[in-house]
């Protein structure tokens, strides 16, 4: 009996998923567990795996199968699945295997060296590896740009946000820049009259970890399908069946690790909530990085920094770290909504965070489009930090342009996803509050089910069934509407 073309495609993409599974854990181990001397061998192993993935997606047998499947009697879900298969195939076939291998090796070298170079404030040392990463990323961008008829930067951004263009981001960020500086000023003036008690450490790492794991349990994390570890830069990795999240600890500041864990738990719950029946296919994966970030920011900002959630977990903080007046719910709420422009993006408050993203977006877009050189980054970074946040990073690259991991591996085009995610999250919760007007009271009482059930139904179980605008429209009744984000910030920081 002959096998349908679509069934044959499922076999191929299932094989791809298994290769990706292996790659995910090689990458997780490299970031969280691998000894330093293992990096060169690990880098070549990952590059070899990338070549295998690329060869599988560019196999000459796939185009006829993709063409034949279009004429088969597929239901709506299968047609959507075929759409996502075609997307993956088209992207892979635009890039030569030589480039894929070179990028994997260059990224591994750059990221590994960055761990030390950042600590040593060694921008010149970093440039040695980074120039190669940038050269290869520009080659990829030019190749995709010519084939897709978009700008080089748009071609890279589409890997993370399919269908989004820099013109869209310019409009969104341009609007944010008109009202955000004044809102920050108003909020800082308001908060200057508020007293806040600073928690007193030290906070032993083992106690912070125990606190984080108990909060993960409150957030519904499935410990039989994932775990918590430590890395230089917090992230969520692994696969849907085995999600790995990491954080970093400071004995002087438990707040950083605690909310970092809440953030990464949002990513993890999305992965754990994806439909298992299609986990091995492109349709079964997360829709985009903006949607992925909307889950982490739903957990961290919309839920995690809310007075209701902080009142729920305040007893857990005291249980693990010892009783302090600083751990009173109202003080925790003030701590987690304190607006202080600072150097580090991942430690930024909710209100100043978009400025960090706009800065990175503007620099990486100019970098990929060939308008600036790598050598220009520190001065331009310092200029924009001064302009947008009023802080000076000149000569302080460790807390400036060396702080993020994204560019080390060539992930140009990713940064807009963070603020898009914050906007999607605000829109979700605006919708949720329409149907659940007592949502805060439920959260304070320990009932988080309305939030998780809504996200599971409208986002997690939908996976990549719909293009992003349609996914958001079905969930909230409209495509992305940034006004919900502004309204959320004004309500929380001026009216709350």
**What pLDDT score was predicted for residue 2?**
54
Structural contact between residues 267 and 226, judged by C-beta atoms closer than 8 angstroms: no
* Separation CA 30–CA 39 (nearest Å): 7
- Chain segment 224-275, per-residue pLDDT in tens: 999 999 988 789 999 999 999 999 999 999 998 999 999 999 999 999 999 9
Identify any residues that bridge with 229 across adjacent strands, giving them in sequence order. 246
At 202, list the tokens.
């030290």
The separation between CA 337 and the C-alpha centre of its own chain, rounded to angstroms, equals 21
Q: 47-74 burial by CB neighbour count: b if 16+ within 10 A, else e?
A: bebbebbbeebbeeebeebbeebeeeeb
Please say if 264 is a catalytic residue: yes
**What pLDDT score was predicted for residue 1?**
40
Residues 6 or more apart whose Cβ sits within 8 Å of residue 297: 263, 266, 418, 421, 422, 424, 425
Structural contact between residues 431 and 151, judged by C-beta atoms closer than 8 angstroms: no
Structural contact between residues 478 and 430, judged by C-beta atoms closer than 8 angstroms: no
Catalytic entry in 84, 140, 264, 293: 264
What does the domain layout of the chain look like in residue ranges? 5-160
Residue 204: closest CA among 158, 168, 147, 251: 251
**What pLDDT score was predicted for residue 3?**
75
Characterize the bridge pairing of strands 242-247 and 226-230. Answer: parallel
**What pLDDT score was predicted for residue 232?**
81
Give the dihedral sign, CA 198/199/203/206. negative
pLDDT under 50: residue ranges of the chain: 1
């Amino acid at each position: 009996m002959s096998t349908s073309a679509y069934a044959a495609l499922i076999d191929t993409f299932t094989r791809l998923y298994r290769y990706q599974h292996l790659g995910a854990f090689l990458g997780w181990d490299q970031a969280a567990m691998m000894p330093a001397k293992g990096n060169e061998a690990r880098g070549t192993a990952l590059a070899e795996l990338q070549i295998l993935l690329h060869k599988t997606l560019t196999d000459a047998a796939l185009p006829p199968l993709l063409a034949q499947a279009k004429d088969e009697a597929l239901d709506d879900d299968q047609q959507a699945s075929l759409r996502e298969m075609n997307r993956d195939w088209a992207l892979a076939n635009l890039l030569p295997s030589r480039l894929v291998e070179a990028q994997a090796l260059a990224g591994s070298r750059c990221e590994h060296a960055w761990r030390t170079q950042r600590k040593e404030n060694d921008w010149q040392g970093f440039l040695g590896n980074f120039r190669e990463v940038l050269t290869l990323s520009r080659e990829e961008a030019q190749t995709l740009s010519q084939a897709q008829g978009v700008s080089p930067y748009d071609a890279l951004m589409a890997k993370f946000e399919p269908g989004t263009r820099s013109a869209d981001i310019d409009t969104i960020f341009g609007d944010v820049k008109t009202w955000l500086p004044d809102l920050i000023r108003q909020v800082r003036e308001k908060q200057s009259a508020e007293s806040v008690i600073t928690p007193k450490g030290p906070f032993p790492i083992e106690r912070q970890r125990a606190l984080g794991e108990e909060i993960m349990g409150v957030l519904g994390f499935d410990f039989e399908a994932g775990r918590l570890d430590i890395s230089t830069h917090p992230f969520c990795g692994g696969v849907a069946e085995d999600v790995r999240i990491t954080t970093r600890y400071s004995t002087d500041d438990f707040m950083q690790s605690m909310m970092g864990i809440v953030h990464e738990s949002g990513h993890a719950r999305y992965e754990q909530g994806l439909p298992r029946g299609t986990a091995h296919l492109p349709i079964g994966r997360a829709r985009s990085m903006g949607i992925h970030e909307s889950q982490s920011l739903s957990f961290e900002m919309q839920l995690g920094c809310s007075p209701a959630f902080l009142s729920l977990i305040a007893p857990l903080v005291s249980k693990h770290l010892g009783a302090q007046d600083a751990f009173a719910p109202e003080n925790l709420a003030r701590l987690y909504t304190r607006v202080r422009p600072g150097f580090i993006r991942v430690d930024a408050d909710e209100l100043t965070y978009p400025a960090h993203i706009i800065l990175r977006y503007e620099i990486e877009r100019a970098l990929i489009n060939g308008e600036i050189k790598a050598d220009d980054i520190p001065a331009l970074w310092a200029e924009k930090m001064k302009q947008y946040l009023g802080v000076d990073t000149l000569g302080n690259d460790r807390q400036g342009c060396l702080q993020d991991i994204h560019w080390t591996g060539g992930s140009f085009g990713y940064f807009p996803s963070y603020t898009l995610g914050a906007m999607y999250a605000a829109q979700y919760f605006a919708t949720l509050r329409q149907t659940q007007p007592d949502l805060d009271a439920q959260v304070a009482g320990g009932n988080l089910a309305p939030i998780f059930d809504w996200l599971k139904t409208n986002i997690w179980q939908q996976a990549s069934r719909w293009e992003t605008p349609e996914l958001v429209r079905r969930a909230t009744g409209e495509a992305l509407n940034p006004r919900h984000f502004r309204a959320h910030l004004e309500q929380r920081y001026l009216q709350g």
